[in-house]
A and B are shown apart, each in its own frame.
Chain A
């Protein structure tokens, strides 16, 4: 009974109710603006916790968190600029949907499935947090390595032109991700003696350049061509029918999203990419091929990254370990108020846990309401003439890149990545594998080396792939994924059908 009362506090307390609403609303717009990240927004709210009571500050921060992750998909769908790395996969089918005049359907579907995903994550947080955190804490370095390699196998899904070019782009992304100080050995890699490269390359800047600036340059060609204006179609298929159709897919990627979100260091971006890949492998008859505006291609990544939020809150509240950058700020907020996040938090301040769960549910409800209500506002972006839209996006991407670390070096990187992205598009290199490499490269490098160093020689390292249940499952998944990309698998499937 106590639990229910605590859970309902955000719904019944007018101040908390309005703060969650305001946070979610602001978060949606912040997330939609390239360069303004959820982490930045939540970090800016941290000082509030000094002067505010704990619960109002947390309610506002949670609203911004859920709204911000969702908001990033708006820009990915409408203008092909992912608001955050976790929205990269959404742009692969979201933008083609906009180009086909189906932006309204894409925005509506992603809103509904983000709500379902977010709610699923919170339900798992409320009911199975200790179990999920037990699994997450058992993940060793070799498991992280296997997980990242599994993610890297998405290249096959993401590079729909030439696979060789896709692998090359992913390799280039990995190398770019390794630029700077070697966190294990202490030396420098690929810095060419430049001090400015010592801190490495921020992958958000790379995304702004490869997607934003490159898209601006690429769109110039279509500027004066007739018939290039996007006409908005009405939603032909009732969204409710699609919601029921894609619910099983959504639930599968939600489970994946929560588990990946719960892993420290593996957040919404990996969850979204793996969810996209899962959709591509399991949806037998998409409405159109993936990459050309498949509904499942926008639903899966958004459902995955939304459920990852609940997952990221699990290790924070049960173990005191942040699941991602935003939850690390939440730890700061709890510390400021003298609370110790970790196993004792639920025993000593169980009320706080349930108020956070209640605020998260409320944030998702507001996300659904605002998300659906403001579709018609967002959609107007598409109807703005490109002569006006492209220069404004250029200013936002430049200022957004500068805002990441308040320095002009990131802006120069933006310009460089913009040019590289443009030529990649012109010469049929998919941009997505490069971003995939940038995100996963450092994780693969570090986890591989740490796992190797922890093992007593190569034989023990190799045994590590099979000597724990998690490693074994991941190794088998890896082998299966590799096998499924060969012609033998196709022949095997055909034989099974013939029988």
Chain B
């Protein structure tokens, strides 16, 4: 019995392809049948993406439950193979919480300016990731902010938000 989770990538790929195709077809003043128009190439790409989505869906459907651990099997991609275990619920929670911290940093950055926002983010996230004493945390956070500020602002004249 195939779980929806294993079939999801293929389904998602087909859905994204259909969005691309519909956008290509719906472009103003262009025709997908005219090779010189702006929608011809995107339509072809959308079509190829749809086919690859279909292939992935069928591949996942055909795979037996025993080789359901397709997360890492049969790949030697360093991006993929560096961690052989799959992400469990606890890992996803950690990722989600940390991602929220980064979003928080991005949101407060234009409001309270670079120094306080980056300091708050660094102190909070180093504390959140555990294993570093408060003293080192504060020292590293302050040091990193000054180096980043010097490089980007003083050397490259970038005006921080």
Contacts and interface: CB of A to CB of B under 8 A. Distances in A.
B35 A223 contact: no
A96 B78 contact: yes
Interface in B6-37: 9, 13, 16-17, 20, 23, 27-30, 35-37
Given A96-B82, A167-B48, A289-B76, A408 B140 contact: no
B38 A448 contact: no
Contact of B140 (A33, A168, A388, A399): A388
Interface in A406-421: 406, 408, 411-412, 415, 418-419
A93 interface: yes
Nearest to A214: B79
A240 B20 CA distance: 51
B95 interface: yes
Contacts of B132: 385, 387-388
A398 B114 CA distance: 11
Contacts of B136: 388
Given A385-B132, A426-B71, A182 B78 contact: no
Interface stretch (A8-16, A183-191, A269-277, A326-334): A183-191
B29 to A, nearest CB: 6
Interface residues of A, number: 81
B56 A292 contact: no
B129 A391 contact: yes
Given A291-B78, A387-B131, A428-B80, A182 B156 contact: no
Contact of B27 (A187, A220, A391): A187
B28 A187 contact: yes
A213 interface: yes
A339 interface: no
Nearest to B81: A292
A93 B78 contact: yes
A390 B27 CA distance: 42
Contacts, number: 217
Contact of B52 (A168, A428, A432): A168
Contacts of B158: 399, 402-403, 406
Given A178-B42, A388-B140, A168 B106 contact: no
Given A160-B76, A190-B23, A395-B121, A452 B36 contact: yes
A445 B41 contact: yes
Contacts of B80: 161, 425, 428, 430
A185 B83 contact: no
B118 A395 contact: yes
Given A99-B82, A411-B106, A184 B38 contact: yes
A477 interface: no
Contact of A217 (B29, B98, B144, B159): B98
A175 B20 contact: yes
B59 interface: yes
Given A40-B156, A449-B41, A185 B87 contact: no
A415 B29 contact: no
Contacts of A190: 20, 23, 42
A171 B103 contact: no
Contacts of B76: 160, 289, 291-292
A153 to B, nearest CB: 13
B72 A428 contact: yes
A175 B42 contact: yes
A377 interface: no
Contacts of B103: 415
B91 interface: yes
Which 8 A/B pairs are nearest by Cβ-Cβ distance? A161-B75, A171-B49, A96-B78, A391-B125, A387-B129, A168-B52, A182-B38, A164-B52
Interface of A: 33, 36, 40-41, 44, 92-93, 95-96, 99, 159-162, 164-165, 167-168, 171-172, 174-175, 178, 182, 184-185, 187, 189-190, 213, 216-218, 220-224, 289, 291-293, 385-388, 390-392, 394-396, 398-399, 402-403, 406, 408, 411-412, 415, 418-419, 422, 425-432, 441, 444-445, 448-449, 452-453, 458, 461
15 contacts: A36-B156, A96-B78, A160-B77, A164-B55, A165-B56, A168-B13, A185-B37, A189-B42, A221-B91, A292-B81, A406-B158, A408-B110, A415-B99, A445-B41, A458-B35
Given A388-B136, A391-B122, A441-B45, 4 more contacts: A189-B38, A190-B20, A408-B109, A449-B37
